[in-house]
Chains A and B, each alone.
Chain A
Amino acid sequence: MAEIQSYTMNFGPQHPAAHGVLRLVLELEGEVIQRADPHVGLLHRGTEKLAESKPFNQTIGYMDRLDYVSMMCNEHAYVMAIEKMLGVEVPIRAQYIRVMFDEVTRILNHLLWLAGHGLDIGAMTMFLYCFREREDLMDCYEAVSGTRMHATYYRPGGVYRDLPDSMPKYQESKFRSKKEIDRLNSIREGSLLDFLEAFTEKFPGCVDEYETLLTDNRIWKQRTVNIAVVSPERAMQLGFTGPMLRGSGVEWDLRKKQPYEVYDKMDFDIPVGLNGDCYDRYLVRIEEMRQSNRIIKQCIDWLRENSGPVIVDDHKVVAPTRVEMKDDMESLIHHFKLFTEGYCVPEGEAYAAVEHPKGEFGIYIVSDGANKPYRVKIRAPGFAHLSAMSEMVEGHMLADVVAVIGTQDIVFGEVDR
């Protein structure tokens, strides 16, 4: 008699734990997963093709929208690739600002990851705690770029502007009392650096709070320990990078191994896992937040002491200021050329990679000497991680699928591009 051995289940694309638009076709035997087939591309926007139709600078904004929880790191890889081809040397102050905001971004990303991962496997409170701290960092984004998320702050040659001396403040409304507003604004009186320094003072305590809730929590451990174990050999074979690779015990961090900007002057440690399971990857990311906090502190100290230009003074690449533009004919011409045509990048190719919160985020640009890239390829870490989905969930229970999606820190903006 024919017997039904396994059945197929559709997970997503509109499942709250799918972190966006992931459609998973799961082959189950009872509640045990035999095979998972992720269907991606529901958020495909053709960023690479769009980039080919625009001058170089107009694509920076698209980079924010790739991995939309670690915006500035995406921009960083893109501008680094262009700088590599142009041979532009970034001013030291801009390098410190970039490193500082890369680490702010890493904390932003890991907080969202912790919030989502926690929520997926039953730790509701995490979501509220993490979003509380995220809000402060979003304010830093807003202070420096005017937007809370899609900053477009990094430019080839440096950053768009220097750090502001004041923070945006809350305004009185019928929803908030005067007393409440004063309390919220009391930490926003100083400059951005003051605000960020106050944040770095309190943040380790916040991480302790998260750890109190999760690290020794019996339910959390039951859901993560020994789930989706990846050996170091398999992790490298599958193209894992970032915390996914370090969780498996491979000590590999581009910030240390192939340092860019001023990471070689920073004092920080790389956390590495032992068993390569979801719990180890959780511990690695938690420790990364603490290390990022250390790096931010070092950057703040340096930035307080030293001033200087934040973008190169080469008007073939960087537009002159508005004041200069109104004043000087040559600046006007530069301004006009840069905003109508852009700059031509020499013929050749370059690959620039940064240690993105999720792994190695790389931009490969082929230029034929024109004012637009000939080909841009975005190497998204999440794409490689998600391709290992089937291998990671095989033999686990249906409920572990969300734990694996969580541990991979999937964001569809970058997977689908």
Chain B
Amino acid sequence: MFLGRVIGKIWATRKDASLKGFRLLVIEPIDHEHKKAGDAFVAVDVVNASDGETIYWVGSREAPNALPDKYGPVDAAVVGIVDQVDA
């Protein structure tokens, strides 16, 4: 998993049926010093993160595991909101 910052939100009315009801956030990957660590991407949000918050996310096969039915066409999921990074 990696740290990230919420930099935006996506609205998409026409999308895959199983994505209905999920919040889609634009995430910028960052490192423990809050430095940019990659290009922005879109992740499904299961913890109601809001704009500007520091979060952590999981990718690849483990991303759909964050969804209620552990299945769905997602390859990145925000799985936690950071209170503090002590590193």
A and B held together in a complex: no
Q: B interface vs A, CB < 8 Å?
A: none
